């Protein structure tokens, strides 16, 4: 049985962080994001192959995961010849000879959804497709999915007006699909699963059911959500490494170097080979990436620093994100909401 992870997006909402790092592998603490999805898929023993559907910088992703042997599951890569849309990408990734049900994930969703329960519902209902739905607080900002009393999908409503809202359930980007339905997707053609494939199931009266999931679910595709994922893991709202069973703690890699006189407040994370010098303060919510250097009396307050970032003495970085190999000069001030791309250099006393 195959799982297809749609990992071809350019991550435009996360720029400049994604100019050199595809969104599916942006770091969450010390792991590429896609690793969390792979771990989830591995909970289903009968899934013996993960197909990564790629388009943007595919080589970067292949370098990280290889053939999957280190993770205990076979990984195959499919690179779209051109952007195929969600439906076209699924058909292209599945290939011609797929016979079993296919599990599909959007490549920017972090969740603890119960995949075995999702598969059981799909099979019990003998469905042609099953879609995971998740509730949201602000339904008007999303496309909503209406169901009947038996959890059959009735309609998709795109960003409704307040008077049109009949549900708070949205498409969570996790599906089980039967390959016999892929014949309606034109080969190597841009085709939307949301706007074309799913409506075709409704129009043909095929069994198309909803699996309602009310646990943790988030789309990491914006800077705000990217930061929130780190906070949620640190504070235990989502149980995942490196804070599994250690919510709220100070987590420091064994080969990081923390000088006497440095102050670390939980929850925070300091990765391997990082250096935190005397008098530096790492405040709650901060993430210090692999090989970072935090100089004397610098303050990192709720910021996320990607690997090999250097922060000079007495600089203050507050609730910002800094890409790889960034250099923040002495006495610089980086304010909340700032996003610095890879290799950014802020000279001494810069205010940003």
The single residue listed with the structure tokens 């006495």 is 331
Q: Which residue has the higher pLDDT, 167 or 259?
A: 259
Q: What per-residue confidence (pLDDT) applies to 193? A: 87
Peptide bond into 242 cis (omega under 30): yes
- Does residue 334 sit in helix, strand or coil? strand
Structural domains present in the chain: 2-215 (3.90.550.10), 223-346 (2.160.10.10)
Residues 50, 131: Cα–Cα separation, whole Å: 19
| Residue 317 CB partners (closer than 8 Å, separation 6+) | 298, 299, 300, 301, 303, 305, 311, 328, 334
Residues 340, 225: Cα–Cα separation, whole Å: 17
Peptide bond into 267 cis (omega under 30): yes
- Does residue 122 sit in helix, strand or coil? helix
Mean pLDDT computed over every residue of the chain: 91
Residues 167, 305: Cα–Cα separation, whole Å: 39
- Taking 80 as the threshold, does the pLDDT of residue 159 lie above it? no
Beta bridge partners of 147: 153
Of the ranges 80-94, 249-263, 300-314, which one carries the lowest mean pLDDT score? 80-94
- Taking 90 as the threshold, does the pLDDT of residue 156 lie above it? no
- How large is the average pLDDT for residues 14-39? 91
- Taking 80 as the threshold, does the pLDDT of residue 315 lie above it? yes
Q: What per-residue confidence (pLDDT) applies to 69? A: 84
| Helix (H) or strand (E) segment spanning residue 169 | strand 169-177
Beta bridge partners of 131: 175, 210
Task: Tell me the torsion sign for CA atoms 31, 37, 38, 42.
Answer: positive
Residue range 38-80, pLDDT digits in tens? 999 988 988 989 999 988 888 888 889 988 888 889 999 999 8
Angle at 267 between CA 263 and CA 268, to 5 degrees: 60
- How large is the average pLDDT for residues 1-14? 86
Q: Quick one: pLDDT band at residue 171, thresholds 50, 70, 90?
A: confident
Q: What angle do the packed helices 34-41 and 58-65 form, to 10 degrees?
A: 50
Q: Quick one: pLDDT band at residue 262, thresholds 50, 70, 90?
A: very high
pTM for the full predicted model: 0.89
Residue range 109-133, pLDDT digits in tens? 899 899 999 999 999 999 999 999 9
Q: What per-residue confidence (pLDDT) applies to 170? A: 85
Q: What per-residue confidence (pLDDT) applies to 272? A: 96
| Residue 183 CB partners (closer than 8 Å, separation 6+) | none
Q: Contact 220/33 with Cβ under 8 angstroms?
A: yes
Residues 302, 295: Cα–Cα separation, whole Å: 17
């Amino acid at each position: 049985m195959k799982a297809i992870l749609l990992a071809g997006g350019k991550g435009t909402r996360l720029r400049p962080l994604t100019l050199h790092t595809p969104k599916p592998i942006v770091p969450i603490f010390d792991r590429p994001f896609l690793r969390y999805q792979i771990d989830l898929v591995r909970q289903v023993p009968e899934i013996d192959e993960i197909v990564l559907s790629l388009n943007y910088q595919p080589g970067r992703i292949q370098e990280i995961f290889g053939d999957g042997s280190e993770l205990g599951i076979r990984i195959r890569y499919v690179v779209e010849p051109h952007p195929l849309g969600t439906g076209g990408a699924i058909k292209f990734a599945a290939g011609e000879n797929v016979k079993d049900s296919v599990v599909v994930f959007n490549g920017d969703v972090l969740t603890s959804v119960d995949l075995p329960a999702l598969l059981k519902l799909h099979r019990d209902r003998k469905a042609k497709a099953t879609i995971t739905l998740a509730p949201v607080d602000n339904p008007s900002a999303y496309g909503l999915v209406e169901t009947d009393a038996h959890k059959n999908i009735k309609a998709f409503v795109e960003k409704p007006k307040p008077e049109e809202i009949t549900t708070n359930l949205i498409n969570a980007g996790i599906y089980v699909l039967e390959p016999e339905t892929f014949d309606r997707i034109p080969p190597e053609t841009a085709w939307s699963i949301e706007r074309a494939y799913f409506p075709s199931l409704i129009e043909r009266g095929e069994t198309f059911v909803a699996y309602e999931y009310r646990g943790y679910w988030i789309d990491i595709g914006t800077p705000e959500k990217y930061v929130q994922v780190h906070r949620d893991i640190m504070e235990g709202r989502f149980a995942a490494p490196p804070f599994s069973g250690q919510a709220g703690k100070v987590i420091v890699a064994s080969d990081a170097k923390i000088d006497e006189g440095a102050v670390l407040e939980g929850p925070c994370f300091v990765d391997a080979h990082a250096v935190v010098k005397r008098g530096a303060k790492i405040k709650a919510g901060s993430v210090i990436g692999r090989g970072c250097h935090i100089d004397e009396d610098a303050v990192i307050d709720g910021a996320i620093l990607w690997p090999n970032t250097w922060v000079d003495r007495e600089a203050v970085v507050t609730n910002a994100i800094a890409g790889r190999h960034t250099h923040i000069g002495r006495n610089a001030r980086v304010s909340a909401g700032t996003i610095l791309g890879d290799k950014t250099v802020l000279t001494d006393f810069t205010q940003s």
